Amino acid sequence: MLKMGLKLCALSAVIALGFSGYANSILGVAKSQVDFNQEFLKQDCANENYLQAQMEQVNKDNDPIFVAINAGSIARSCGDFNKSNEFFDLAESKYKYDVDLESIGKKKGQSLQQA
């Protein structure tokens, strides 16, 4: 009986670890984070095209919070503090609009349902 329980626990652990490794790939997050890590490690601070391309992605609402925070980090490490602040301000405003307003709407909806 104890042996069966241990086998079941081990099997559950292996399955959970297997699925957790695929979760980021399925959601598309892992590729973006890996790409950012590579860009951060071998950044070319003289290349203005990179930051401009990132700004275009933010303006197109192509995962703007993630892109703005990552581009702001790269701009900051390159010493371009004005551009870094611009990216971080954009990320903050997108967060306030996209996430905070959504939360407020959900809270209002829930309170109306309870009434």
- 91: tokens are 């990320």
pLDDT in tens, 43-54: 788 887 888 988
Q: pLDDT (tens digit, 9 = 90+) per residue, 25-43?
A: 444 444 577 777 777 777 7
Structure tokens at 111: 């309170």
68: Cα within 13 Å, side-chain hemisphere: 19
pLDDT one digit per residue (tens) for the chain, 115 residues: 556 655 655 555 545 544 444 444 444 444 577 777 777 777 788 887 888 988 898 888 778 888 899 889 989 988 999 999 999 999 999 888 877 666 666 656 655 666 5
CA distance 50 to 42: 12
* Spatial CA neighbour of 38 closest among 3, 5, 74, 10: 74
pTM: 0.58
Q: How far apart are CA 10 and CA 2, in angstroms?
A: 12
Residue with tokens 């992605």: 57
